[in-house]
Amino acid sequence: MKAQNSAEEVNVSFNKDIQFPPLRPLNEFLFDKTRFELPNYNDLPKWNNRIFANLLYFQSNYFLILLSFLLLTSCFKTQEMIIGFVILAICGFLAAIMVSKEEKLLAIRREHPYAILIVLVGVAYCFITYLPFVIVALFSLCFPLLIILIHASTRLRGLNNKLNQKFFEGVIRETVMAKILHVLNVEAKAV
């Protein structure tokens, strides 16, 4: 892990493809009450741009919130979280296999329909049996995401945020949040 000193880069680089911006000061992130305002719901492009810019500018703070909440929840509900995430991973893996159009998987589904049915019923049974654990796992993941989206929606963009987006536009694309937003097919529109 190294920090680069050039004016082009103030991010912490773990390799040349993944970078993390520095943590923003707590005063700038949370305590400046004049910088919070409900968004204009009638101007969706401007609201989307605000969310996008805040997600990129405060991404290290947001990841810290998510990680802190996951660690806090796992301290109190370790077994529930592990089992819940395992069940969710199995369900996601099985869903990906079921909708896959790969020839090998299509052949397996055609040749062994009863085995596939038994696996589906077994996974559904595990999901229903461990539903409280799945709910704990989903809550521990979705609640901080809700807090992050509320903060990104209500936090007004400051001068630092706007300058950072303009000057480091190429560098911002190499950050973790930018890569996540790119995978989700989210792009900022100039507003």
Q: What is the pLDDT of residues 61-97, one digit of tens each?
A: 898 999 999 999 989 999 999 999 999 999 998 888 8
**How far is Cα 130 from Cα 80, in angstroms, rounded to an integer?**
9
Q: What is the pLDDT of residue 189?
A: 52
Both structure tokens of 167: 């000057």
pTM > 0.85: yes or no: no
pLDDT band at 34 (very low <50, low <70, confident <90, very high): low
With cut-offs at 50, 70 and 90, classify the pLDDT of residue 29: confident
Single out the residue of 113, 110, 91 nearest to residue 102, CA to CA: 110
Could you please report the per-residue DSSP string of 54-117?
A: HHHHTHHHHHHHHHHHHHHHHHHSHHHHHHHHHHHHHHHHHHHHHH---HHHHHHHHH-HHHHH
